[in-house]
Chain A
């Protein structure tokens, strides 16, 4: 059983529209992360989330981005007004302890038209 499930697997959206990417971890994880991978490039950190608040965010994670755990299970990434350069694979990752590996979902491929 995977540690985390991401939906949708592929999202196509018009530029300027809002998107919400979802991540459902199994229950014993405390630490949550979003990363992205632009086609052909390395995986980049976006944001980490612990105890219902952001722990750290990168400079990529600007005011257009937000995260939340609305119901204590789903962990979502929202992009308010998408840009062409937001096209990427977005990965959710989870961890049970700070000294343990992060486990990644299969990703959501976001395509902005």
Chain B
């Protein structure tokens, strides 16, 4: 079984400032890792994924994340945020074998301050 911890429930950031949203996971098996974004009144959109290979993965809208196996982390970063990045961000994990379900964190609400 897997679990995901997103310690920051809310993160306010000034426009054009950098941001990091933290995600730590726990698993007894190797995993795939994902970040999803949920804009107000919308569904979940895949932001980026780590399946294998390079530990630094780039996603849509200028976001990137780094997989750190020793620290069991997958933090999301963006060097300069925009008003349109205001949304809820969910980190998710699944085992890398079989038809595994996604296990989500509790989400981080990113608010961009003009």
- Interchain CB contact under 8 A, B99 and A56: yes
Residues of the B chain whose Cβ atoms lie less than 8 Å from the Cβ of A48: 99, 101
- Interchain CB contact under 8 A, B32 and A107: no
| B interface size (C-beta, 8 A) | 24
Candidates A93, A99, A102; contact of B51 at CB < 8 Å: A99
Q: Which residues of A (14-59) have their CB < 8 Å from a CB of B? A: 31, 33, 35, 41-45, 48, 50, 55-56, 58
- Interchain CB contact under 8 A, B97 and A98: yes
> Tally of A-B residue pairs with Cβ under 8 A?
53
| A interface size (C-beta, 8 A) | 26
Instruction: Give chain B's interface residues, CB within 8 Å of chain A.
Output: 32, 34, 36, 42-46, 49, 51, 90, 92, 96-107
Question: What would be 20 A-B contacts, judged by CB atoms less than 8 Å apart?
Answer: A35-B102, A42-B104, A43-B90, A43-B102, A43-B104, A44-B104, A45-B102, A48-B101, A56-B99, A56-B101, A58-B101, A91-B43, A91-B44, A98-B97, A99-B32, A99-B96, A104-B43, A104-B44, A104-B45, A106-B42
